Chains A and B, each alone.
Chain A
Amino acid sequence: MANAASGMAVHDECKLRFLELKAKRTHRFIIFKIEEKQKQVVVEKVGEPTQTYEDFAASLPADECRYAVYDFDFVTAENCQKSRIFFIAWSPDTSRIRNKMIYASSKDRFKRELDGIQVELQATDPTEMGLDVIKSRAN
C-alpha cells in the first residue's frame, strides 16, 4: 500500500467547510474521515450551530479514529464571550492499530491545511475529551 504519511490528499470540501466555520460561523463542528481507498480526507459530518457538545461526542464512533474540529463558546472570568476552535484527534484505544497509524501519520499534514486552529487535543477515550477537559484547555 502507498505510504500513508505523505500523499494523503485533502479534499477541497474540508477546507471550504473549515473556512465557513471560521468566518461565517455556520457550523458548530465538523468531523473528518480518512477514506483509505481514495487516499483522501473527506468531510463525514457537519453540525448545526444549535447542536451541543453532547451531540458532537455522540457522532464520534467508539471504535474508529476520526479528526474533528469543534467551535467552543465560553464566558471568561471578566465576563467576555469568547470562542476557541479545537482540533480533536479522536483515536480510541478500542480501534484497530492500522487505523490509528494512518490517522496519526497524516494528522500533521492535515492540520497545516486548516489555518486557524487554536487548541489541539488528542483523545483516546471519551474521558479525555470530556467537557471539563475542553473547558480547562480553553482557559
Chain B
Amino acid sequence: MAQLAETYACVPSTERGRGILISGDPKSNSILYCNGRSVIIRYLDRPLEVQVYGEHAYPATVARYSPNGEWIASADVSGTVRIWGTHNDFVLKKEFRVLSGRIDDLQWSPDGERIVASGEGKGKSLVRAFMWDSGTNVGEFDGHSRRVLSCAFKPTRPFRIVTCGEDFLVNFYEGPPFKFKLSHRDHSNFVNCIRFSPDGKRFISVSSDKKGILYDAKTGDKIGELSSEDGHKGSIYAVSWSPDSRKVVTVSADKSAKLWEISDDNNGTVKRTLTCPGSGGVDDMLVGCLWQNDHIVTVSLGGSIFLYSASDLDKAPLELSGHMKNINSISVLKSDPKVILSTSYDGLIVKWVQGIGYSGKLERGVNSQIKCFAAVEEEIVSSGFDNKVWRYSLHGDQCGDGDCIDIGNQPKDLSLARLSSELALVSFDTGVTLLRGTKIVSTIDLGFTVTACTIAPNGTEAIVGGQDGKLHIYSVTGDTLQEEAVLEKHRGAITVIRYSPDVSMFASADANREAVVWDCATREVKLKNMLYHTARINCLAWSPNGSMVATGSLDTCVIVYEVDKPASSRITIKGAHLGGVYGLEFIDDQTVVSSGEDACIRLWNVTPK
C-alpha cells in the first residue's frame, strides 16, 4: 500500500511584466494560487500539506474562495469559470464559459450570490457578472476598450463593482443590475490591481505608473492618493488591504513591498518598506501580495513566496519556494537527513530536506537549461540543450565553480559511475562519449540510434539501449567499449536503464510501457510482465536493498514491483502527478520520492503487502 507522506508544492506561475493575483481564506488560513492547469491550496501553518485541483483543461489563472468558504471559483485562459466544493473531493458544482478570452480576475459578491469576472475577449465581453448557480447575467459592462486586469466587488451594501485595465481607466458600476456610472483616467499607465477595503468605505487602484489612488466607495470619486515621497520606483503590481482597513501593502517591480498607513484625510504614507532577501536579480521583482489575518504574503517573479508576520515586521520572513516548471529529474544525496535535489528544464536546482521541505536553491554560475542531471556526494553533472556537459562541485549549500566541456553532440542521457565519480557516460544520437573528469576520454560512434545509457557503479560495464528496443552490453576497458552481448526483449525504444545498488541486477524500461528486470551475471530475464502502465515509462528507480523496483510513466502513475514476487502483485499509485511522472527515486526502503510535469514533488510511504 502506498500513502502520500509529503508534498513539496510548485509555486505560482508568473509572467514578467504582469502581476499575479493570489487569494486566501482567513478561516482555514490557506492561500490559493495557480500553476499550469492546477489550482493549489496551501495551508500556511502546514506547508507540507498541499491540495491540488487539476480539472481545468487550460492553464488556470486565478482562484477565489467564496465568502462562506464552501466553494472555490477558478478561472482559466479559455474564459471558463469552474465552481467546485472545498471539501468532498472538489466535486464540481457548475462550469460556465464566461468570456471569450483569458480571465484575469474573479471576485465573489459578499453574499456569495454573484461573481464578477474580468479579462480579455472580443468586443463587449471584457467583464461579466453573473449569478453563481444559474449563470444569468446581472449587468452590462461597457466602458472598457482593452484588457481588464482587475475587478472588485464592494463588500457592503449598496453593491458596486469597480474594474480597471490596460486602457488606463478605472470604471465604476452601480447596481444590481450593474450599469456604468463613471470612469476615472487618473493613471498614466496600465492599472494593475483594484481593491475595496474590507469595511467598504474606500477602494484603491495601483498602476504601472508607480501611483496608487484612493476613491470613495459609494460615489466613486477620487479622495486621495498614496504619497509619492518614498514611493515605489517601479510598476506596482498588486495591492492588499489589512483586515482593519487602515493599512495597505503594495508590491512592485522595484523588488520591495511597502506598507502604507491610510490616514483619515485619505492619503497614504509609507510606514514600512520590506525588501525581499534575494540575490537581487530580475527574479526578485515582486508580483503578488495578500494580507490575511496576521500574515503578509508576497510572491516574487521567480516564484518564491515570502511570509511576513504583520504584527512583527522585523522578523525575517519564512521563504517557501519550489519549481515553476516540469521537474525532469531528482537525485537523492546520501546525507542525513536525506537531501533531495530536483531540477527543472529552466535550469533551476532546488534542495529539499525530508520532513522540512524547501531548503534552498542551488545557485550556479551560469544558468543554463538542464535536460539530464546526475549527482553524487560532492559533485553535480548536468547537460542541457546545447552541446555542453557541466560539472560542478557541491559544498553544502553552495555550488562551486563549474567546468564545462563541449562534446560535439547534444547529450540524450547521462550516467555517473557512482563509485568512481570521475567516470561519466554521455549518450547522444548516434553514439556515446566517455568522460573522465572534464576530459573526453573517447567518443564512440555506435551505428544505431541510442536512446538510453547507464554505467555500472564501478565503471567496468556499460549498457546502451537503442531506438529498436535492443540492449547492448559493453565492457569498459580503459578507453574503449567492447560489445559483450545484445539483449532483445523490448518492443519499443528503451527509455531508461538502471543498475541495482548491489549491481547484481539491472532493470530497463521502454516507450511501449514495459519494464524488465535482468540478472547481470547470466543476462537472463528475472522479472517480466511488468506491463501495467498505459503509456511510455519515463523513469525507474531501485530501492537501496535491491528488493523493489519503481517505475513512473507518462500515464501519471507510479508502480512499485517486488523483484521476488510476480509482477501482478504490485502497488500502484494512481494520479501521482498530473501530466506525467518524470523523476523517481527511493529515499529509503519504504519511501519513494516522485516528481512530474505538475512541478510538484511527492513523498510516498510504500509498505509491501
A contacts, CB < 8 Å to B: 54, 93-94, 125-127, 130-132
B contacts, CB < 8 Å to A: 491, 529, 531-532, 566-568
Q: Is the CB of A93 within 8 A of B568?
A: no
B530's nearest neighbour on chain A, judged by CB, is A127
Q: Is the CB of B491 within 8 A of A130?
A: no
Most chain-B CB neighbours within 10 Å: which of A54, A127, A131? A127
CB of A60, distance to nearest CB on chain B (Å): 12
CB of A97, distance to nearest CB on chain B (Å): 14
Point out the residues of chain B lying under 8 angstroms from A127, CB to CB: 529, 531-532, 567-568
Point out the residues of chain A lying under 8 angstroms from B531, CB to CB: 125-127
Q: Is the CB of A93 within 8 A of B529?
A: no
In the complex, what distance in Å separates the CA atom of A125 from the CA atom of B532?
A: 10
Point out the residues of chain A lying under 8 angstroms from B529, CB to CB: 125-127
Q: Is the CB of A126 within 8 A of B491?
A: no
In the complex, what distance in Å separates the CA atom of A125 from the CA atom of B516?
A: 14
Point out the residues of chain A lying under 8 angstroms from B567, CB to CB: 126-127
CB of B574, distance to nearest CB on chain A (Å): 13
In the complex, what distance in Å separates the CA atom of A93 from the CA atom of B512?
A: 12
Most chain-B CB neighbours within 10 Å: which of A94, A130, A132? A130
Q: Is the CB of A131 within 8 A of B491?
A: no
Given contacts A93-B491, A127-B532, A131-B568, 14 further A-B contacts (CB under 8 A): A54-B566, A94-B491, A125-B529, A125-B531, A126-B529, A126-B531, A126-B567, A126-B568, A127-B529, A127-B531, A127-B567, A127-B568, A130-B568, A132-B568
A128's nearest neighbour on chain B, judged by CB, is B531
In the complex, what distance in Å separates the CA atom of A103 from the CA atom of B76?
A: 50
Point out the residues of chain B lying under 8 angstroms from A54, CB to CB: 566
B534's nearest neighbour on chain A, judged by CB, is A127
In the complex, what distance in Å separates the CA atom of A77 from the CA atom of B568?
A: 24
CB of B535, distance to nearest CB on chain A (Å): 14
In the complex, what distance in Å separates the CA atom of A132 from the CA atom of B574?
A: 15
Point out the residues of chain B lying under 8 angstroms from A131, CB to CB: 568
Point out the residues of chain B lying under 8 angstroms from A93, CB to CB: 491
Q: Which 5 A-B pairs have the closest CB atoms?
A: A126-B529, A127-B531, A130-B568, A127-B532, A125-B531
CB of A100, distance to nearest CB on chain B (Å): 15
Point out the residues of chain A lying under 8 angstroms from B491, CB to CB: 93-94
CB of B568, distance to nearest CB on chain A (Å): 5
In the complex, what distance in Å separates the CA atom of A125 from the CA atom of B514?
A: 11
A93's nearest neighbour on chain B, judged by CB, is B491
In the complex, what distance in Å separates the CA atom of A54 from the CA atom of B529?
A: 14
Point out the residues of chain B lying under 8 angstroms from A132, CB to CB: 568
Listed by A's residue number, 6 A-B pairs whose Cβ atoms lie within 8 Å are: A54-B566, A94-B491, A125-B529, A127-B531, A127-B532, A130-B568
Point out the residues of chain B lying under 8 angstroms from A125, CB to CB: 529, 531
Point out the residues of chain A lying under 8 angstroms from B532, CB to CB: 127
CB of B26, distance to nearest CB on chain A (Å): 44
In the complex, what distance in Å separates the CA atom of A93 from the CA atom of B469?
A: 15
A125's nearest neighbour on chain B, judged by CB, is B531
CB of A77, distance to nearest CB on chain B (Å): 21
In the complex, what distance in Å separates the CA atom of A94 from the CA atom of B566?
A: 20
In the complex, what distance in Å separates the CA atom of A125 from the CA atom of B531?
A: 8
CB of A84, distance to nearest CB on chain B (Å): 20
Point out the residues of chain A lying under 8 angstroms from B566, CB to CB: 54
Point out the residues of chain B lying under 8 angstroms from A126, CB to CB: 529, 531, 567-568
Point out the residues of chain B lying under 8 angstroms from A130, CB to CB: 568
In the complex, what distance in Å separates the CA atom of A126 from the CA atom of B491?
A: 15
In the complex, what distance in Å separates the CA atom of A132 from the CA atom of B571?
A: 12
A129's nearest neighbour on chain B, judged by CB, is B568
In the complex, what distance in Å separates the CA atom of A94 from the CA atom of B490?
A: 11
In the complex, what distance in Å separates the CA atom of A59 from the CA atom of B144?
A: 74
In the complex, what distance in Å separates the CA atom of A130 from the CA atom of B491?
A: 21
In the complex, what distance in Å separates the CA atom of A131 from the CA atom of B568?
A: 8
